[in-house]
Amino acid sequence: MKSSGSTSEQGRVYNERIILHLARQHPEISRVTMAERTGLSAQTISVITSSLLERDLLTVTGKVTGRRGQPSIKLSINKKGAYGLGINVDRDHISAALLDFSGDCVLLLERMVSFPTEHMAKAIAIELIEEVKATLGDDWRKVQGIGLARPDYMDSWLDTLVTDTEQRSKLEALKQALAYWQSDAFEVWLAELTGVACYCEIDAVAAATSELLLATKAPQRDFFYLFVSRACGGAMVANGECYFGAHGKAGSFGLIPAATGKHGKWILEALSLSSLERFFAAHQAAWPIDDFAWGNPANKSLIDQWAREVALEVTPALTSVIALYDPEALLIGGRLPSSVLTALIRHIESSLMKHSMLPTPCIREAQTARTAGVLGAAVLPLYDSFAPQRNLLLLDSKKR
């Protein structure tokens, strides 16, 4: 069996990222506390933090008082030290987000569009990126890259997922146009347009990555992420990092058959905004346009019925996830309205408790919820450049 080691340079980069991660999670942290939490020597901490201060990635925010000797400085992430730009291309919208180095959202933009083709996507992306550049000005040079989050199989299941009447009348032509998304052409175009590296992931993986980097408290290290938008996808996080499997398809929850097929043959069809829209239409109910409408008694009754039925459709698959993976938590994010997500979580918890012999993990709403896709996209370049990924320490590590 081949063993893998690491060089001193790899170790230095990894330690830098550990320190940045600590400063992000614990603003105004002292060097002494960093040493206590990492096990690194005081000298190593001093050398690394001095380098990060020189590169404007950390900033001094005060001094620790009440200790003997010379006061220790407090260190925090320099918000303007770096930026991550994200583009989320989905079946019903294209959005952009700009994150500063602390993970705060500086700019969030969205354009609604049904199943965007190449021409539509490029036109909207140019408009959004120009607005980001205008916001940043000279700080554009601090953008670490552009993240692209998009669903897999954009050209599939159109008969179920397309709800626009005009597009439904021309599904074959739409399918041919959407074949564009089977390649990396848009990713390559984005890199050429912006002049920075492009990092592309499936939307569910991007959303899960945002939980790892931007969690306001120490994130759970083993969780399963359900991303619900026009369709549904999933991502696995094991020991603090996304797990992709042999062919990069681990976590493809949407491609598991639904229990009965009542809301679609596959889970990606059943657990989706498309499914919810079809359900409202089948009951001659108007689609709610705001929180007040979502909360009226008739709509709440429909939401509860849909959530209960869909929870039963996904319970066998979730039971398998729990049995095979044993996650600490199931996180659900994406574009479901808050009231729908609350009902869905309640019914999934109830159904799992009835149908699973194993302990039910914590089921909760992901921290970014509705903006998970685009914020996840913006996280990707920051994560690649600054997160303490273990494969940094392996001499034979390869990018996925």
- The domain boundary, picked from 77, 97, 116, lies at 77
- 71 and 89, same domain (yes or no): no
**Is position 49 within any domain?**
yes
> Count of residues for the chain?
400
- 224 and 357, same domain (yes or no): yes
Lowest mean pLDDT among 86-95, 359-368, 382-391: 382-391
Q: Are 277 and 299 in contact (CB under 8 A)?
A: no
**Is position 3 within any domain?**
no
pLDDT at 1: 40
Structural element, H or E, at residue 5: none
- 221 and 333, same domain (yes or no): yes
Nearest by Cα to 201 from 145, 156, 266, 163? 145
- The domain boundary, picked from 42, 60, 77, lies at 77
Q: Are 339 and 288 in contact (CB under 8 A)?
A: no
- What distance in Å separates the CA atoms of residue 375 and residue 114, rounded to the nearest whole number? 20
Residue 98 predicted with pLDDT over 70: yes
**Is position 398 within any domain?**
no
**Is position 27 within any domain?**
yes
Q: What is the CATH number of the domain that holds 29?
A: 1.10.10.10
pLDDT at 322: 94
CA angle 295, 210, 215 (to 5 degrees): 80
With cut-offs at 50, 70 and 90, classify the pLDDT of residue 395.
Answer: very low
Residue 50 predicted with pLDDT over 90: yes
With cut-offs at 50, 70 and 90, classify the pLDDT of residue 36.
Answer: very high
- 108 and 148, same domain (yes or no): yes
- 146 and 282, same domain (yes or no): no
Q: Which domain range does residue 43 map to? A: 8-77
- 150 and 49, same domain (yes or no): no
Residues 341-368 pLDDT 10s: 999 999 999 999 998 888 899 999 998 7
Residue 215 predicted with pLDDT over 50: yes
- 346 and 229, same domain (yes or no): yes
- What distance in Å separates the CA atoms of residue 394 and residue 400, rounded to the nearest whole number? 14
Q: What is the CATH number of the domain that holds 127?
A: 3.30.420.40
Residue 9 predicted with pLDDT over 70: yes
Sequence-distant (6+) residues with CB within 8 A of 139 are 80, 83
pLDDT at 393: 46
Q: How many C-beta neighbours within 10 Å does residue 90 have?
A: 23
Question: How many separate domains does the chain show?
Answer: 3
pLDDT at 220: 77
**Is position 305 within any domain?**
yes
- 95 and 44, same domain (yes or no): no
**Is position 395 within any domain?**
no
Q: What's the alpha-carbon Rg for the chain, to the nearest Å?
A: 23
Residues 328-341 pLDDT 10s: 999 999 999 999 99
DSSP 222-250: SEEEEEESSSEEEEEEETTEEE--TTS-T
Residue 71 predicted with pLDDT over 90: no
Instruction: Give this prediction's pTM.
Output: 0.89
Nearest by Cα to 385 from 196, 215, 255, 228? 196
- The domain boundary, picked from 51, 77, 103, lies at 77
pLDDT at 307: 98
Residues 264-318 pLDDT 10s: 999 999 999 999 999 999 999 999 999 899 999 999 999 999 999 999 999 999 9
- 228 and 348, same domain (yes or no): yes
Q: Are 329 and 363 in contact (CB under 8 A)?
A: yes
